[in-house]
Structure 1
Amino acid sequence: MVEPVKDGESITTTFGYDATGNRTRLTDGRGNTTVYTFNAWGMPEATIEPATSAHPAAADRTWTTVYDAAGRSVADLLPGGVKRQRSYDGLDRLVRETGTGAEATTIDRVFTYDLAGRMTAAGTHDAAQRNTYAYNDRGQLLRADGPAGSSRYTYGDDGNMTARTDGAGTTAYGYDVAGRLSLTDDPVTGARTVMSYDAAGRVTAEEYRRPTADGSGWSAEGTRAYTYDALGRLAEDRTVSSAGTTPLARLAYGYDADGRLVRKETEGTAGPGVQTYAYDLAGRMTSATNGATTTPYAWDAAGNRTLAGAAAAAQYDERNRLLSDGTSTYTYTARGTLASVQPSGGSARTLTFDAFERKVADGTATYLYDSLDRMASRDGTAFVYDGGSNNLVSDGASSYTRTPGGTLVAAATGTTRQRLLTDQHTDVVAALTADGTAVSGSTSYDPFGKPQAESGTTPSLGYQSGYTDPANGDINMAARWYQPGTGAFASRDTWLLDPTQSSGRAHRYSYGFGSPLNGTDPTGHIFPLVIGGVALWKAAAALGGATVITAGAYGAAEWASNRDWSWPSSSSSSSSSSSRGGLYDLGNAGAASAAAAAMSAAATRFGAGSSGSSATSSRGGSSSRSAWYPKTRQYGNGSWTYRAAQPQPRVITSPPRPPIPQNPNKGKHPVPAPTRPTPKPDWGIKPGAGSHRTDGSS
């Protein structure tokens, strides 16, 4: 595959395949080769990454998985002697996972389910540390209880969520006759937000109202208005108070012919008023101009960021791990987790990860996680989440309220109450006073998320609405921690990504394929491109194909691909698909959540409004959007086509399935061989026997 970069320069990526079509070799643009092998059932058998000076031995760059006779992955053997083991119940649902051999002790995780297959508990063997879930007779989540807090949910007759009660209070929701979210009553600010839509179903205004002094009604305090360009992309986002027409905060966007963001204007918030961006032919950002300052970016043939501003050229090893960037040097464990950061002339920062690839120590800070891989505490301060999602309710310093789709509404920090404004990248760019009449704090970011300018006060949620660690500036993106200073994650992606669309899409550490402002990474695994507020699934990574969601709504969605989930059965669809695994497609549950995440994030703010169906939000929570669902899995490839005029209303409110096992097979690449034959009695594999496989932790 030859990919142009600019005149006279291109990237060549080569692939090798076996006789059945399995991808067995990937050689990136730098000439480094990753090898894949497969077993007799056509399941991935090994991922062997290139040798490096720090880890030349094959054992330090090979990931191995053991299958049982039913084809379930029951163990992963990772470089450095790390081992993960899994147990399933009779319905092939993950019930226990353990890990050993990492730098830190790994706490077992245990899952239980009801007779309908819904997760009822996720935690450890210590019942006091479990998150529990209860449902109504329609399968909607009614209650989520955990060690640090609880959430309660109520629904209308049409299935739309009408109230959420958690540590921030009770947030109430109303809907119009089309089932779209029309009002939100926020307990933090005491305000009501009333939403308006145009004929295309796009949000055109959010009016802020507060109770009148005599309590007889509501008075308008301000309005946030949205306008769109001729292609349906968000063009302007303007917030004004009822007292005047001068915007309190204004964001405007411009796009190139490929739909990439090339201009952003801001008014009333910190940072330069105009920012412009340029890209190479491979879609990677080559410069960012903020006011009078231009920051150049350069990339090598494997998608590594080699230049960011005036710093010395960055150096990478053969596995695309950053070794130095002119200001710091970096070391890694054999399995690819960041082990240390040594600033020039400063003290080294040591990082420790457990066997589930979760960062448990970073310098002097320590972290604990629940069984859904959410950070449960930092230095003893408890974190609380909304149901089974990744949406923070409290980070110890602030509590947050949200729409049903997970979009931030407001934050309470001590006695300070603020209404939060996010841009189309979901960055928290401003905070208004509780009455919505003034900007009380704002932040601007460079393209990769490093704060550039700040004024006033804002909570700990920032770039991509993620929690930002106050000690090191890293951002929690669910499955992984992201470092905005380097534009890279602190651990390798545990999904096998698709390199066939672009050479950089196989990179396991980079954020956004070098195009950070044209999408978000809601799970730490996948980067859907978001253009004008609408998710475009050019990131077929781990999804197995290309998806395009048209601007404004899902109405004209038309796509065909190999995938492990299906549209709700209530939708009009035609499919012939095979899936892979048991009742729960644990290997791809996160992918389904990611797909739903991007769709809901786009529709919640700019797209289809509240169609009455639900999916995972941009931070992983349930939302009033349409969703894909993991299906039961069988070995083999299946393709199917979906065409629908409009998804049918349905609310999905159950917590997500366990987002890990950290199975090297997770994701659809390399693609398995044709359908596995039905096991026969004369096979050499006996019940309880293991099928050994070596595999890239994905």
Structure 2
Amino acid sequence: MQTKEQLLKRYFTKVLSLFVLITILGGALPIHTPPVAAAGPTAKPFTPSPSPTPVHLPLTPSTPKDFPGPGIQRWYYLAGDLVNVANGNLFFTQRDLLFPARGFDIEITRAYNSLLHDVDSPFGLGWTFNYNLHLTIGDDTVTVHDANGAIHTYVYSPTLDAYVPPPGIHRRLTADGDGYTLWTKDGTRSSFDENGRLLAVTDANGNRLTFTYTADRLTRIADDSGLTLDFYYDGGHITRVEDPAGRQIRYDYDEAGHLIRVTDALSHSISFDYNPDHSLARYDDRLGQSLFFFYDTGGRVTDIWYAKKGERSHLSPFRLFHFRYLNGETAVTNARGFTYRVTYGPYGEITSLTDPLGNTAYQTWNADLRRTALTDFNGHTTTYAYDAYGNRTRKTDPLGHSTVYVWENFDTPERYQALLRSETDPLGATTTYEYDAAGNLITTTNP
């Protein structure tokens, strides 16, 4: 049975969805597979060391503000898994290809952001993809352009001699003389050249993907076992991708540079139509189902409609969602006519949800954009605490019962990784975890 907190969390994240739009979108959301350890001798367990203190600057009015923006952040809420209620950005992803491999699977996952409707990429206006991670280098800033379209600006601090991330971001960026390295807390590091172009991605086990460019265009991705993914272009746009098994995905564009058709290895196609301002107007899947998107003058999604080809009934076409944007609040009406009101903070973090009956649940956040309290519709509050790296260290339920988490954080030039070492429940029972030298879990000891 689910706890009240779990039910409320589901309510916060799913209550506005009438249908599972992932199915309508043909399996739109990506699935991330954990990396696999490279073959080799068994590593010895390591001895925990004191956690260092990460480099952070307090948020000031002069700090670059990337939120709310395109892409996905942990504190965003997407109604129907499609629309950011804080800024009206239409966001969805589609996986075109997946080839299992050691360490990192080789895949192509595209992401669309209506906030980036006039930004061109290898997949056309408004689109990006999972290997389009890159940097923009400024005088004292480095901007990370994530593969989902999110933007994170790091500011160089002469006092700290380090690049400081924006609030809520716990990836470490370092300058390496002839380039840059971006580290994530699972030990993965992405290497870039001095111009911000992605050269390699290496996991904590040493498994690696390398990237080859021709005339500044990504033309090949290869892993250490020799598997490759090849890209072919017409102008600046990818027209064909070929995986290690020889399967091909084809992409078609109109004269304006819009991606209008994707055809898979079995000749199944999906298609897209766009408005004159380049925003996505329509999506058709291979089953004849369509989604239609409408926007206000500010580029925010106002309506989403669904229809099925050749079918006219009370189920086709119909309006899935209607959005009204107020000052710091968005009203979302679903297909049944029920309206939910969502309020949010300056970074797009959700602060309250009011259901059609007028019941309200609340969330509060710290300066690091971690949720510190969740108050349900009955006024019961669960609180949370975190360490300097954003890892949850304590959860306290409405009755005052706490679960405590102990982490080991590595922050050295050679390693950046966070490992959960123990978890103690409200009854005092502790579960401990042991890892090998690369951070792979090798032993779990129950109470």
Q: TM-score range by the shorter chain?
A: 0.3 to 0.5
TM-score normalised by length of structure 1: 0.31
Structure showing greater radius of gyration is 1
The answer to which structure, 1 or 2, has the higher relative contact order (CA under 8 A, 6+ apart) is: 1
